[in-house]
Structure 1
Amino acid sequence: MEIVDAQIHVWGTGLPSNMAHWQVTSFGAAEAVAMMDEAGVDAAVIHPPSWDPTSTGLAVDAVRTWPGRFAIIGAVDLGRPDESRAAMARWRERTGMLGLRCMFLEGENRRRLHDGELEWFWDAAERFGLPVTTLATGSFEVLGEVAARHPGLRLSIDHLGGRGGNTTLKDAAAMTHIPDLLKLARLPNVAVKATGVPGYSGEAYPFPAMHTYLRQVFDAFGPDRVFWGTDISKMPCSWRQCVTMFTEELPWLAGDDLTRVMGRAVRAWWGWS
């Protein structure tokens, strides 16, 4: 079984602005490869973090240095429609680029989403075949409307639909959004990244309080629309434990379903052959 991590960050300068991440000035691809080898992770998708302006270049270097181990989900400036639309037209020609990530938790991008100012972006993503993944707790209804209007758009929701490292809430208190997330399962072009799940738990490994929510999401979206991953730089456990939480501790996830969730499905969704 191939194991593909749907989200990691690498950076080379500056402390992460999100305090949930390791507060170190660099975490490079070479370090990631060593940890992945130890954990049995075959490949990973790098999401260049905003706190390091050189992070996209580092991700491209990683793709070139370790062929087959890395791919990239990048970003465009949603405040510059003309410039970003032009970039999106040739996005998949760039080294390692699979698609785009947007952050809609707060600020101007959240306002733009809710005010309907991003139709140009959704149109371009659908037209150019660019999958979009998003951190957007509290905006599921709006995103559901977007997905319904753009059936050719492949949209995924980050971090089991939660706020990731942007919340200190744990267990049930961190999962109050789940009923709203499950409503999106009716849309075949919406998927969920089950990334960063241990970070939501106040318990020790194997984080049993989170298993119920994983089962609910899996039952609703199915094995082709749920993607395992870690966001490893803010996990309270080892990379290997992030793997075995899914491969050894969820008896209902097995066989072909497990193979899909652990890597095959995200490769198909994001077009990473």
Structure 2
Amino acid sequence: MEIIDAQIHNPSPQKPFDEDVSDAMKLAIGVELAREAIDSVRVDKAVVFASAEFNEAAVARYPELFGAVLVMDHAAEDLDERMAAFKASPGMLGLRTLPTNYGPVRVDPTRALTLNETFLGGGFDRYWALAEKHDLPMFFSAHDFASAVAPVAERHPDLTIIIDHFGITQSLRTDIEGDRWRALPGLLEIARYPNVYVKCCGTPLVSREPYPYADVWPHFHKILKAFGPERCMWASDYTRMRWGLPDHPQNPGPRPRSDWKSYADSLHYLLYTDEISQSDKAQLFSGTVRRALKWTIA
């Protein structure tokens, strides 16, 4: 069975490079770290969510292994031309919208997670319309606000929309330790839109239990029932597996190595489970991502 990881970010070394290491060398090392990571767990291919420079370097060096997703400048005057060029570039598969203030919350976990002003003020409307025009799938890092994507799905029925991270927040804020799945009903509500898909991602970070994360399955089954496996895709987001959970709100950084989650475990809990059929696994691991992203793979 082919296994495609529908989200990885660019890996980086734990210690900074020396000043004499060139930017080109840093990119090459990062690409090799990503390649080694997927090789080590026998993932066949991966979708990279990173800067344009890293995306291009990864796809150029290993076009058989990597495709890429980019966050574009939604306000760029030449956005139409940029999207056309992106669409025409081999291995460039889709775009991403960041509708919340997750970035600042990541730095300061005491802040409330909210929709950002750009999303609320209609600042992304042109971005989505042009993505629909160019047939570029759009990932939404919506966290607890998946239901807010409903008007987008309705206004842009030909836009493929993928909701990241099970549609729930995977923030490091300690106050979500009560019910990490509390926003799941908002995701299930938008299953009625056939152009909406779900990326099932980051399981080790939301589970309260050790591998194989049995407590996730009651929620996962609800998603599979609502969307069907043909609209769900697996992803590891493996670089985040080093985060763990903070001891207190002012400690959002990496935990000790002993607390890191495992890339292998984030794959194997699903690969070896008896909770779903082999045909469902085939959709989650490759069928859906290939179909949704129109990724023709040799």
TM-score interval, smaller chain: 0.7 to 0.9
Q: Runs in 1 of length 4+ with deviation above 3 angstroms? A: 11-15, 165-172
Tell me the equivalent position of 1:57.
Answer: 53
Computing the radius of gyration from Cα coordinates, the structure with the larger value is 2
> Structure 1 stretch 99-108 or stretch 230-239: which is displaced more?
99-108
SS of 2:179's partner is helix
Tell me the equivalent position of 1:51.
Answer: none
State how far apart, in whole Å, the 1-side matches of 2:35 and 2:54 are: 14
State how far apart, in whole Å, the 2-side matches of 1:83 and 1:164 are: 33
Tell me the equivalent position of 2:237.
Answer: 231
Alpha carbons of structure 1 residues 212 and 28: separation in structure 2 relative to 1, 3 Å: same
State how far apart, in whole Å, the 1-side matches of 2:100 and 2:285 are: 27
Root-mean-square deviation (CA), in Å?
2.5
State how far apart, in whole Å, the 2-side matches of 1:172 and 1:253 are: 27
Using structure 2 for the length normalisation, give the TM-score.
Answer: 0.79
1:66 to 62, 67, 71: 62
> Structure 1 stretch 108-117 or stretch 185-194: which is displaced more?
108-117
**8 A Cα contact 2:97 2:141, kept in partner:** yes
Tell me the equivalent position of 1:20.
Answer: none
Identity of aligned residues (%): 30
> Structure 1 stretch 1-10 or stretch 64-73: which is displaced more?
64-73
State how far apart, in whole Å, the 2-side matches of 1:168 and 1:271 are: 38
**8 A Cα contact 2:11 2:239, kept in partner:** no
State how far apart, in whole Å, the 2-side matches of 1:266 and 1:241 are: 21
Q: Which amino acid aligns with 1:215?
A: H
State how far apart, in whole Å, the 1-side matches of 2:9 and 2:132 are: 26
* 1:12 Cα deviation after fit: 5.3
Tell me the equivalent position of 1:33.
Answer: 35
Tell me the equivalent position of 1:266.
Answer: 289
* 1:76 Cα deviation after fit: 0.9
State how far apart, in whole Å, the 1-side matches of 2:207 and 2:176 are: 5
State how far apart, in whole Å, the 2-side matches of 1:204 and 1:13 are: 26
State how far apart, in whole Å, the 1-side matches of 2:145 and 2:81 are: 27
**8 A Cα contact 1:165 1:199, kept in partner:** no
1:243 aligns with 2:239: no
* 1:247 Cα deviation after fit: 1.5
Tell me the equivalent position of 2:221.
Answer: 215
* 1:30 Cα deviation after fit: 1.2
State how far apart, in whole Å, the 2-side matches of 1:40 and 1:151 are: 36
Alpha carbons of structure 1 residues 188 and 141: separation in structure 2 relative to 1, 3 Å: same
State how far apart, in whole Å, the 1-side matches of 2:175 and 2:4 are: 27
* 1:13 Cα deviation after fit: 8.2
* 1:14 Cα deviation after fit: 9.6
Return the structure number with greater relative CO, CA threshold 8 A, min gap 6: 1
Tell me the equivalent position of 2:8.
Answer: 8
* 1:198 Cα deviation after fit: 1.1
Taking the TM superposition and a 5 Å limit, the aligned residue runs for 1:1-273 are 1-11=1-11, 28-48=30-50, 55-80=51-76, 82-106=77-101, 110-168=116-174, 173-235=179-241, 236-249=260-273, 251-273=274-296
**8 A Cα contact 2:69 2:93, kept in partner:** yes
Q: Deviations over 1:34-71 (max 9, x none)?
A: 222221100000000xxxxxx42222121121221000
* 1:86 Cα deviation after fit: 2.5
Q: Which amino acid aligns with 2:71?
A: A
Q: Deviations over 1:184-219 (max 9, x none)?
A: 111000011001111112321111111111111111
* 1:29 Cα deviation after fit: 2.1
Q: Which runs of 5+ in 2 are unaligned?
A: 16-25, 105-113, 242-259
Q: Which amino acid aligns with 2:87?
A: R
